[in-house]
């Protein structure tokens, strides 16, 4: 490896390390709670590092093409080089798709974010193996000849093999732990299996009865995998104490119990669910109260311009303009594919805004207020767009 290639190797390794660190930190719950105000900055930093990573990959490809003669005959080095290039290209390609909000699930049956995570798992695991074996080689290269003379070359070969196998096992263990952490979520599209994963701590009586079209789900059952992101511990609701209120600039304020809430007219619709972190769930059959109908019953006053939503966790809020809130597909959902929405996914009642990213769909919804001035919600005050239209779906 010549000096220029060696420097490129070092730069590429440092950028890959920074990319891995920022990606892992972004995945951590810490940056959705205590350090949530830094999340948008960290995401931007991750994107910028990703661009430099892709640039080094392009330069690396050219450098390897020029050095192909030196790689000839070294099968192990060829395998390492090709393997790392495949991983780097996979990371770059899926990263670009995520940046442009292009999901491969409909075409490939697997989401872009899932593919990006798998590329990260293989990349970090192979990186750990490469670092371990390289450190060993550097430590012992100066004494290799002496060892071969005094103890025999076979001893040195055995020691190298032992270190490499140990590094491989360590990389597999580390990769397994990383996989469990990154993919510690439901991988089933069967709702009964999902309920086993997402523990429902709500105690709501009676359960909402699904309408025809809700069960069996008219959408045929949702496709994809839900993930659980929260900014507080998941609250548990009890129908004995649960209350829904609609207040503010309305003629007919509302305060109702769970049973009274279920007596409101409900509609059924099939919607897609999009998270701003890069994953989506498709063809979900929701049943709930159409927000436009609820606002009509309340009698919105002329001074009302915005609708503010409150979460039962006592922390999370968000808001929509009155026009946005009166869109035909905005609802307060209580059923999903004919089953009560579990607490982990925002039940017993959650706001659903299908054409916007899910951070606008307030979980554990228990209060609505009509207001005259704009309200900046939890994630919006931390850098997320206030108008959270999913790309390609803006009206």
**206 and 268 part of one domain:** yes
**175 and 198 part of one domain:** no
Residue 367 bridge partners (DSSP): 245, 310
pLDDT of residue 168: 46
**10 and 159 part of one domain:** yes
In a domain, 339, yes or no: yes
How many structural domains does the chain have?
2
Whether the ω angle into residue 369 lies within 30 degrees of 0, i.e. cis, is no
Average pLDDT on 217-239 reads: 93
Give the CATH number, domain containing residue 159: 1.20.950
Judged against a pLDDT cut of 50, whether residue 43 lies above it is answered with yes
pLDDT of residue 182: 55
**272 and 144 part of one domain:** no
**296 and 170 part of one domain:** no
Judged against a pLDDT cut of 60, whether residue 63 lies above it is answered with yes
What is the rounded distance in angstroms from the CA atom of residue 164 to the CA atom of residue 159? 9
pLDDT of residue 393: 74
In a domain, 58, yes or no: yes
> DSSP string covering 113-154, please?
HHHHHHHHHHHHHHHHHHHHHHHHHHHHGGGHHHHHHHH-HH
> DSSP string covering 263-323, please?
TS--EEEEEEEE-TTS-EEEEEEEEEEEHHHHHHHH-B-TT--EEEEEETTSS-EEEEEHH
**163 and 247 part of one domain:** no
**9 and 149 part of one domain:** yes
**176 and 226 part of one domain:** no
In a domain, 390, yes or no: no
Q: What tens digit of pLDDT does each residue of 170-194 get?
A: 444 454 555 555 555 433 334 444 4
In a domain, 357, yes or no: yes
**What domain range is 121 assigned to?**
3-182
In a domain, 393, yes or no: no
**239 and 152 part of one domain:** no
pLDDT band at 129 (very low <50, low <70, confident <90, very high): confident
Q: What tens digit of pLDDT does each residue of 65-106 get?
A: 777 766 676 777 777 778 888 999 999 999 999 999 899 998
Average pLDDT of the chain is 84
Q: What percent of the chain shows pLDDT beyond 90?
A: 60
Q: What percent of the chain shows pLDDT beyond 70?
A: 79
Judged against a pLDDT cut of 60, whether residue 9 lies above it is answered with yes
What is the rounded distance in angstroms from the CA atom of residue 213 to the CA atom of residue 190? 18
Q: Three-class SS of residue 199? A: coil
What is the rounded distance in angstroms from the CA atom of residue 353 to the CA atom of residue 265? 19
Burial of 136 (0-12, 13-18, 19+ CB in 10 A): middle
Judged against a pLDDT cut of 90, whether residue 350 lies above it is answered with yes
């Amino acid at each position: 490896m010549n000096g220029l290639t060696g420097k490129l190797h070092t730069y590429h390794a440092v950028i890959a390390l920074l990319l891995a660190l920022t990606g892992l930190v972004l995945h951590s719950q810490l940056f959705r709670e205590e350090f949530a105000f830094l999340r948008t900055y960290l995401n931007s930093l991750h994107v910028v590092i990703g661009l430099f990573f892709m640039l080094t990959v392009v330069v690396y490809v050219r450098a390897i093409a020029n050095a192909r003669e030196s790689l000839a005959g070294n099968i192990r080095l060829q395998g390492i080089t090709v393997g790392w290039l495949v991983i780097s290209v996979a990371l770059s390609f899926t990263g670009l798709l995520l940046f442009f909000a292009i999901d491969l699930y409909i075409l490939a049956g697997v989401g872009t974010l899932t593919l990006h995570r798998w590329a990260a798992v293989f990349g970090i695991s192979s990186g750990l193996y490469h670092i371990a074996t390289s450190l060993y080689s550097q430590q012992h290269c100066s004494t290799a000849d002496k060892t071969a003379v005094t103890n025999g070359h076979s001893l040195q070969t055995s020691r190298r093999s032992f270190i490499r196998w140990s590094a491989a096992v360590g990389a597999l263990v580390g990769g397994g732990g990383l996989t469990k952490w990154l993919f510690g979520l439901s991988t089933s599209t069967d709702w009964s299996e999902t309920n086993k994963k997402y523990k429902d701590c709500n105690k709501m009586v009676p359960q909402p009865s699904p309408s025809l079209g809700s069960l069996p789900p008219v959408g045929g059952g949702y496709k994809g995998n839900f993930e659980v992101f929260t900014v507080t511990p998941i609250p548990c609701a009890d129908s004995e104490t649960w209350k829904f209120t609609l207040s503010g600039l309305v003629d007919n304020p509302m305060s109702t119990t769970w049973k009274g809430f279920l007596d409101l007219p409900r509609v059924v619709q099939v919607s897609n669910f999009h998270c701003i972190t890069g994953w989506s769930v498709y063809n979900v059959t929701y049943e709930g109260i159409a927000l436009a109908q609820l606002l009509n019953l309340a009698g919105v006053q002329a001074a009302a311009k915005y609708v503010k939503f409150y979460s039962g966790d006592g922390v999370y809020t968000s808001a929509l303009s009155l026009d946005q809130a009166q869109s035909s597909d905005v609802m307060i959902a209580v059923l999903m594919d004919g089953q009560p929405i579990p607490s982990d996914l925002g039940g017993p009642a959650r706001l659903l805004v299908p054409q916007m990213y899910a951070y606008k769909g307030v979980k554990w919804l228990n209060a609505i207020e009509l207001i005259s001035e704009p309200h900046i919600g939890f994630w919006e005050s931390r850098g997320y767009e206030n108008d959270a239209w999913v790309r390609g779906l803006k009206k």
